[in-house]
Structure 1
């Protein structure tokens, strides 16, 4: 009888000890809660959906390219391949482009000139914020102070000066050119930038944005650097 009581007592103590251990672990390592408000979550969700849409669009383009290769004859396949190379060169920013677009001049504010405030190079954070804001519009091509900006470009600080693709950006004033797929898209970008809060960010750095009306024929130069082929080798015909 005493053995049965001792066994039951032991089981009860084990259960109590287990519950105390679980409660202590919960208090010591509470579950991390997401304290963001609903708008922050909605914004992150919108960005994820935007990325998902872009990936689907790229997959669709690649599928169309493959389908076009499969449907073409051997004689036409070369032309299709050249067309694909031209598209990739444009996307990489190695070719000059002409099309509808806008010119934006970044210059010192009137107050900074009147008070003699020294104007330094535009900060990399501000320039990056501007580029991210403009990239809401798809299919655009951009040139910053004569330097072609693409998805492979970088904005960095080198020796205290902001640079694009390793080349220093001039101390304001300098120009930013943006070409859109259509004139309608250029007008949308123009109206968006006129009302954008990015002007406040520039003004805090004693800079202003002069946004010119869209034009039909605007040219931006290609990236002068040539790509080096490190891994691919051309095979002779028949191999």
Structure 2
């Protein structure tokens, strides 16, 4: 009888010990180990901090806009409505945008000109990559060859020709104009583009990118096409 009790007691202790060991290993060894080095973790932390800063800045801007709108609305509802419409037109790209910025010239490379090579138009893929490189910075307005870039601007190949907003892009040389929200941000974008590896991609296609120094004021043309608002409907008055 004593042997049976002792055996059961030993079995219970064994099971408890096994469960404790499994739980200890589960807590101390995560399912997936983080194999990133310190530099990769610092880069991820930097990106998260930048995103957090941008969100706080956006919230502050919206709070200021709401406060100004409330004050203007109490003084003059008509003026508040006009100001709101104009602000929305600016954000949508339906009006000219002026501010600190710089021009960028896409030109045939000197080697291509010297060797007499035919200069072909820029490819949609390369143009999209360049636009994405610029759009890594917030608060940027841009036009390419006189065509304003907005959120839904298509850059694609139509019948073998590169187009923006369904309009053909000229064969280089042509101009890209960039406007930033502050002169400081214009300088940051300028320095980023000057050091960007994407410039090498242009060189492969016999093109060169001439990024000019920032200016106090440059004007980007307004979007000339009609915006397609597929998911929006005008509210009916009561």
- TM-score tier after normalising by the smaller chain length: 0.7 to 0.9
Q: 1:31 to 1:52 in 2, by over 3 A?
A: same
Alpha-carbon offset, residue 204 of structure 1: 3.5
Unpaired runs of 5+ residues, structure 2, are none
Structure 2 distance, partners of 1:38, 1:17, is 35
Per-residue deviation, residues 125-164 of structure 1 (Å, max 9, x unmatched) = x434433443455433100232212344455566776554
CA contact (8 A) 2:104 2:212 kept: yes
Structure 1 distance, partners of 2:39, 2:206, is 31
Structure 2 distance, partners of 1:162, 1:34, is 44
Equivalent position SS for 1:231: coil
Q: More deviation in 108-117 or 84-93?
A: 108-117
CA contact (8 A) 1:92 1:152 kept: no
Equivalent position SS for 1:31: coil
2:48 equivalent to 1:67: no
Q: 1:30 to 1:200 in 2, by over 3 A?
A: same
- 1:205-216, aligned counterparts within 5 Å? 205-215=205-215
Match of 1:144 in 2: 144
Alpha-carbon offset, residue 182 of structure 1: 5.5
Match of 1:106 in 2: 106
CA contact (8 A) 2:130 2:198 kept: yes
Unpaired runs of 5+ residues, structure 1, are none
Structure 1 distance, partners of 2:161, 2:18, is 63
Q: TM-score, normalised by structure 2?
A: 0.73
Q: TM-score, normalised by structure 1?
A: 0.73
Equivalent position SS for 2:106: strand
- 1:5-84, aligned counterparts within 5 Å? 5-11=6-12, 14=15, 22=22, 31-72=31-72, 74=74, 76-84=76-84
Match of 1:116 in 2: 117
Per-residue deviation, residues 91-131 of structure 1 (Å, max 9, x unmatched) = 1111123444322121232334427377453352x434433
Structure 2 distance, partners of 1:98, 1:174, is 20
Match of 1:3 in 2: 4
Q: 1:151 to 1:18 in 2, by over 3 A?
A: same
Q: 1:195 to 1:68 in 2, by over 3 A?
A: same
How many residues align structurally?
231
Q: 1:13 to 1:152 in 2, by over 3 A?
A: same
CA contact (8 A) 2:73 2:80 kept: no
Alpha-carbon offset, residue 211 of structure 1: 2.4
CA contact (8 A) 1:91 1:150 kept: no
Equivalent position SS for 1:102: strand
Structure 2 distance, partners of 1:160, 1:15, is 73
Structure 2 distance, partners of 1:158, 1:145, is 17
